[in-house]
Structure 1
Amino acid sequence: MKPAYLVPAVLLALGALQGCATRESQQQLQDASMALQSVSEEPQILQDAPKDVMRAGESLDRAKRFADYWGSAEDVIHYAYLSKRYSEIARQHSEQLQNQRRATQLNMERERLREAVQQARILDMQHQGRWLEDQMVSLAAAETDRGLVMTLGDVLFRPSSAELGSSANRTLLKVVHFLQLNPKRRVRIEGYTDNRGDKAENFALSKARAQVVGEFMQSLGVDAGRIEVVGYGEQYRVAENASARGRAQNRRVEILFSDEQGRLSNPR
């Protein structure tokens, strides 16, 4: 038999352990509740992953019921963990479906663009001369000492990414039309950034953005041999980097067109 004076100490120790377990289980409950609330407030997730959200809610309800009983902290933690995990799965499932939908939409858009290119090829020869002149104007290209240059602004890309936004399709389609009607012309695609961030990362981003423009043009039928790609990173700014407007101007992709014989000026 334990001495009488040890009994209070044992009870205090058990109480302390129970208190720690309760604090942990309450924290788990709170985290699971916040995770469930987060996914429940997004209609797209509710539409894409209703079963996962429902399982998250059911697991959270079980955890809350166990929280009312003494000595059930492990069960609370277990079901709270399951609830939080189901919420994470719901978000991941929704993101996966959204990416699939975006990919499908992009493929459909590119197919429409290919059809538009094909239609441009069969334009009546008598009207191609005037149409070509209109295309040159609509390209918003500028004549420079390096040749004809078209500038694609940063807004055509997703922020800090080399992924083209949907607004880039119409602009690049004009370039593809122009090249299809001028089979001897070539282009050099040059990427630039502002001076924020790491120089090496900026250089890589500038090259990646130029590359994705070239790949997009190839996907619409422009031969790879007619395309050069180069990244310059922070070099050759066209405005000061001290202002947001200036930095936006420096984040660009330039398309340099060759002459009618396919001769490009020397790289910078």
Structure 2
Amino acid sequence: MKPVYLIPALLVALGALPGCATLESQQQLEDAAMTFQSISEVPQILQDAPKDVMRAGESLERAKRFAGYWGSAEDVIHYAYLSKRYSEIARQHSEQLQNQRRATQLSMELERLRQAVQEARMLDMQHQGRWLEDQMVSLAAAETDRGLVMTLGDVLFRAASAELGASANRTLLKVVHFLQLNPKRRVRIEGYTDNRGDAAENLALSKARAQTVGDFMQSLGIDAGRIEVVGYGEQYRVAENASARGRAQNRRVEILFSDEQGRLSSPR
């Protein structure tokens, strides 16, 4: 559905109506026009909430028409309000549908994960051992002097936030899968940042990001006793902070896996 209302032309027209509406009603109309423009330019909202977008546009047109008549300020304010509410409802409706789609996708991933676990348990010990080795490789983890370490890059989080992006789900599902197949193994989740900004805030962000990863694992059934969380902030960089690329490498979360008996190396 493409927008059928010419918002820029409307805003120009509003400037020519000072004698037909009060300052308040004119401001309300301008706000409604800008709000409608903000949703009508988003294809996903147009697709998810076409009726609400249509109602918002129709109410805006009515407010515009009333703005051309003397003594109709209340009507302008009324229909401008309706337009803004319909625009907000359209945005909320779209967000709800997107959240539902994400939840459905995650549910499907979890179901595939459960099926894979069941299939793995049916394998004989030899084949299962080989299968677990393949799973270690799929984790893209590296063997270090501290043990097996998997690095989650900064791109899996929203900018300057501890909130996981949608792309993180598939990566973390692999980790959860591995831990479910290896019930004695434990993990230490370590958060790191670059050196830009306040050191105390960086330390808090690194701990929050590590905790978010731990909470995600717990939400999928990994016992809290198998998870340690620590934030190191700016410490232990893996690249120089002088370049954007180096800073991006330093903004990371590392998942350190224990050995088969559940022994983790000492914290840094």
TM-score by length of 2: 0.80
Q: Give, in whole Å, the separation in 1 of the partners of 2:123 and 2:149.
A: 26
User: Cα–Cα, structure 1 residues 102 and 41, in superposed 2: closer, same or farther, change >3 Å?
Assistant: same
Structure 2 unpaired stretches of 5+: 1-17
Q: Give, in whole Å, the separation in 1 of the partners of 2:113 and 2:133.
A: 21
Partner SS for 2:233: coil
User: Cα–Cα, structure 1 residues 148 and 81, in superposed 2: closer, same or farther, change >3 Å?
Assistant: same
Q: By how many angstroms is 1:38 displaced?
A: 2.7
Answering whether residue 188 of structure 2 is matched by residue 188 of structure 1, we say: yes
CA contact (8 A) 1:120 1:177 kept: no
Corresponding residue pairs, total? 251
User: Cα–Cα, structure 1 residues 118 and 161, in superposed 2: closer, same or farther, change >3 Å?
Assistant: farther
Q: Give, in whole Å, the separation in 1 of the partners of 2:97 and 2:131.
A: 41
Q: Give, in whole Å, the separation in 2 of the partners of 1:44 and 1:189.
A: 36
Which runs of structure 2 are paired with 1:92-171 in the superposition (5 Å)?
Answer: 92-171=92-171
Q: Determine the structure 1 residue equivalent to 2:205.
A: 205
Per-residue displacement from partner, 1:129-158 (whole Å, max 9, x unpaired)?
323333333333333332222212122333
Comparing 247-256 with 77-86, greater Cα deviation is found at 77-86
Q: By how many angstroms is 1:24 displaced?
A: 4.1
Q: Give, in whole Å, the separation in 2 of the partners of 1:150 and 1:27.
A: 54
Report the residue type matching 1:110 in the other structure.
L
Q: By how many angstroms is 1:170 displaced?
A: 4.0
Q: CA RMSD in A?
A: 2.7
Q: Give, in whole Å, the separation in 1 of the partners of 2:266 and 2:34.
A: 58
Partner SS for 1:45: helix
Q: Give, in whole Å, the separation in 1 of the partners of 2:44 and 2:178.
A: 40
Structure 1 unpaired stretches of 5+: 1-17
User: Cα–Cα, structure 1 residues 138 and 82, in superposed 2: closer, same or farther, change >3 Å?
Assistant: closer
User: Cα–Cα, structure 1 residues 78 and 174, in superposed 2: closer, same or farther, change >3 Å?
Assistant: closer
CA contact (8 A) 1:117 1:220 kept: no
TM-score by length of 1: 0.80
Per-residue displacement from partner, 1:6-61 (whole Å, max 9, x unpaired)?
xxxxxxxxxxxx85954443333233223223322323223333333233223222
Q: Determine the structure 1 residue equivalent to 2:214.
A: 214
Partner SS for 2:191: strand
Q: Give, in whole Å, the separation in 2 of the partners of 1:221 and 1:123.
A: 23
* CA radius of gyration, larger in: 1
Report the residue type matching 2:188 in the other structure.
R
Q: Give, in whole Å, the separation in 2 of the partners of 1:174 and 1:88.
A: 38
Q: Determine the structure 1 residue equivalent to 2:249.
A: 249
Partner SS for 1:232: strand
Per-residue displacement from partner, 1:79-115 (whole Å, max 9, x unpaired)?
2232223212221222222223222322222222222
Q: By how many angstroms is 1:190 displaced?
A: 0.9
Q: By how many angstroms is 1:188 displaced?
A: 0.8
